[in-house]
Structure 1
Amino acid sequence: MLSAKTRLKKVINREKVDRPPCICPGGMMNMVTTELMEQVGIQFPEAHMDAKMMADLTAAVYENGCFENYGVPFCMTIEAEDFGAKVNMGTNIYEPHVKEYIIDSVKEWEDVNPINYEKGRAKVVIDAIKLLKSKDKEVPIIGNLTGPISTASSIIEPVVFYKELRKKNKEAHEFLDFVTNQLIDFAKKQIEAGADIIAISDPSGTGEILGPKLFEEFAVKYINKLVDSIKEENIGTIVHICGQMKNVYSQVNKIGSDILSFDSIVNINEAKESLGDRLIMGNVSTYTIEFGDKSKVKELTRKCIKDGSDIIAPACGLGMKSPLENVKAMLEALTKGDGVTDA
């Protein structure tokens, strides 16, 4: 039987596998639930700020049969906070979120300090990956980045930011170039620490918000700059884009990641038809995982496989109140005879 790491690597390399992997990358796609934390005795917000707790908590996700990977961190506020934004660290139910921005216009981007990887929560993530690297060589470690648009709109008020993409176009590109260069550094630090794959989630950079033209000009351009730099390290990449894809499939197909991930509004069969031979990850409804029952989660998992998902994953981050039996149902559908297909 293939190890979790080998199976995922083979899928990325387009090699034959026994079944699809079942993963949840971390970052925006948080895999931790309140029930799991209570079970292992590790709590939020402490685990957001302590490398050992962070590593032990994501290891518990794997050890409890939820997903076939390690993945850190568990939120999308690392980069924004280390740039200087004020963050509410959340609770066992609510994830951290930005509460105070640091600039009022893209013209002020030069006032933003680079991330210091020797302190702060970026260092916590790097140290957690180092700890995970020493745990189990056959479990893939997924490092995570908040995408360029989402990071930028976490350090400036989003409505202002979106307006200035047009009105202050030159400065907006300079700002996003700066942010992307910082994300490249963070990615390389995670890779040096032991990450096997880097996942990039850019929920604020959707075609629905930006429209096709700005989506290609800003989201695709800077995601690709990030992806290209990561690929220089011979590391696999996942890019998650939120929202409906109907109007931007041609632009999405220009994103150079190994794997594309979509939320539950996207029909996987339609995505496969629109994107040719691209590897697709997803997209079991997180609403059903949290509020449905185990049999329905398995049914949706089987549908994802039938529609062509190459990797099974939740459509977004798990709701903190999701029952563990529902979370485990996805992997069970793959390993206990439900939904296993010949690759």
Structure 2
Amino acid sequence: MNINYTKNLRDVLNGKKTDIAPVVTVTQSGILDAMERTGTSWPQAHENPEQMATLGASLYELARLEDAKIPFCLAVEAESMGCEVDLGYGGRTPEVVKSPFEKPEDIEIPDNFETSGRIPVICEAVEILHERYDNLPVCVGITGPFTVAGHLIGVEDILKMINLDLFAVEDAIEIAAEAVSAYIKQLNEVKPEVICVADPTSSGDLLSPLDFAQLSVPALEDIQEVMKSQNVLHICGHTAGILKDMLSCGYNGISIEEAVDMRYAQKVKHELGDKTQVCGNISTSKTLFRGTPEEVRGEVLEALEKGVDVVAPSCGIAASSPLENIQAMVNARNEFFGI
């Protein structure tokens, strides 16, 4: 069966009926097995557009996952804001180690934000992927405003400030959203098929549903309105309590972890009118990382039985995950649809 991967993913995210569910990743895609086979590595693939494009498409080339996903971390925006970022090595992803800002009122967007750090690298990698592939959607992952604000003034600090100075937190998030929007406008120029906003600090494990609705939702809605690509919102952890708000933010899709039952997610989706599709929720921390291909198969088949719209890892794929487990995701989807 010949599949137009780009059209199939686009149609599903637009709520159209398709013959099969796509199997993609909207989260971190770089694994060590793929690096070894493609001659790429971290940290080089974080800074070199050719390596980034090659590694981003590696799970398509090696496992037939149906998209190319770049970049491989959530520190891009903070870096361009002036934060010091440790790019890591081997299988360790980049992390923010130092911010130039101490308080929300200190935060300002540098004049060269869009042209500094790795934003130009990512845009060039998108163009390379479009040149290499006619039938492979490119998904660019960006960071949600609340998580960016946490990078700028410290996650623990911003969570504490919610109870001490809520207006300052709102100001920090607003500036972070302005920066993210500026980045999105750069991406609009190179036209990735999908933008995935990952906002892990908005997780139900960290924020109450009320705080999520008051602090995260307005910024997530604002940046969604800037996007010209199809878009997916990914939030980690236990998100059942914020599921209605996630589904109502205006995104084409949401991405959830295994902590949320797929049948429940579909129930809420249907109650809200089926406008937003649900991606997920194949466990990255257990099944894809430490499980067997047969366990991956079982989890994929279960997710499909429960109505998942797009089969995908539940969060960023651990770098040490075996390639055969990624292949098992695709094989199980094929089995379910009789391909």
Aligned residue runs from structure 1 range 1-343, under 5 A: 1-25=2-26, 29-110=27-108, 112-114=109-111, 116-230=113-227, 233=228, 235-276=229-270, 277=274, 278-286=276-284, 287-335=286-334, 338-340=335-337
Q: Distance in 2 between matches of 1:70 and 1:40?
A: 14
CA shift for structure 1 position 190: 1.3
Letter in 2 for 1:283: N
CA shift for structure 1 position 99: 1.2
Q: Distance in 1 between matches of 2:322 and 2:40?
A: 17
More moved, 15-24 vs 239-248? 239-248
CA separation of 1:222 and 1:115: change in aligned 2, threshold 3 A: farther
CA deviations 1:79-118 (Å, max 9, x no partner) are 11111111111112111111112222212223x5255333
Q: Distance in 2 between matches of 1:115 and 1:164?
A: 29
CA deviations 1:14-60 (Å, max 9, x no partner) are 222121001112xxx21111011011111111110111110111122
More moved, 244-253 vs 285-294? 244-253
Which ranges of structure 1 fall in alignment gaps of 5 or more residues? Answer: none
CA shift for structure 1 position 250: 3.2
CA deviations 1:205-252 (Å, max 9, x no partner) are 12331211110011111111111221xx2x211000112123223333
More moved, 9-18 vs 30-39? 9-18
Task: Give the match's secondary structure for 1:210.
Answer: coil
Task: Give the match's secondary structure for 1:243.
Answer: coil
CA deviations 1:292-337 (Å, max 9, x no partner) are 10011011000110111000000011111111111111011122xx
Task: Give the match's secondary structure for 2:294.
Answer: helix
User: Taking every aligned residue pair, what percent have the same amino acid on both sides?
Assistant: 25
Q: Distance in 2 between matches of 1:298 and 1:174?
A: 45
More moved, 44-53 vs 10-19? 10-19
Q: Distance in 2 between matches of 1:242 and 1:148?
A: 15
Asked whether the 8 Å contact 1:133–1:194 carries over to 2, the reply is no
Task: Give the match's secondary structure for 1:248.
Answer: helix
Q: Give the aligned length.
A: 333
Asked whether the 8 Å contact 2:145–2:219 carries over to 1, the reply is yes
Structure 1 residue ranges, 4+ long, deviating more than 3 angstroms after superposition: none
CA separation of 1:115 and 1:67: change in aligned 2, threshold 3 A: farther
CA shift for structure 1 position 169: 2.5
Q: Distance in 1 between matches of 2:185 and 2:68?
A: 18
Task: Give the match's secondary structure for 2:151.
Answer: coil
Q: Distance in 2 between matches of 1:67 and 1:114?
A: 38
Letter in 2 for 1:319: A
Letter in 2 for 1:270: Y
Asked whether the 8 Å contact 1:4–1:140 carries over to 2, the reply is yes
- Taking structure 1 as the reference length, the TM-score comes to 0.93
Asked whether the 8 Å contact 2:233–2:246 carries over to 1, the reply is no
Q: Distance in 2 between matches of 1:238 and 1:322?
A: 23
- Taking structure 2 as the reference length, the TM-score comes to 0.94
CA shift for structure 1 position 279: 1.0
Q: Distance in 1 between matches of 2:218 and 2:246?
A: 11
Letter in 2 for 1:2: I
Q: Distance in 2 between matches of 1:312 and 1:67?
A: 10
RMSD (Å) for aligned C-alpha atoms: 1.6
Which ranges of structure 2 fall in alignment gaps of 5 or more residues? Answer: none
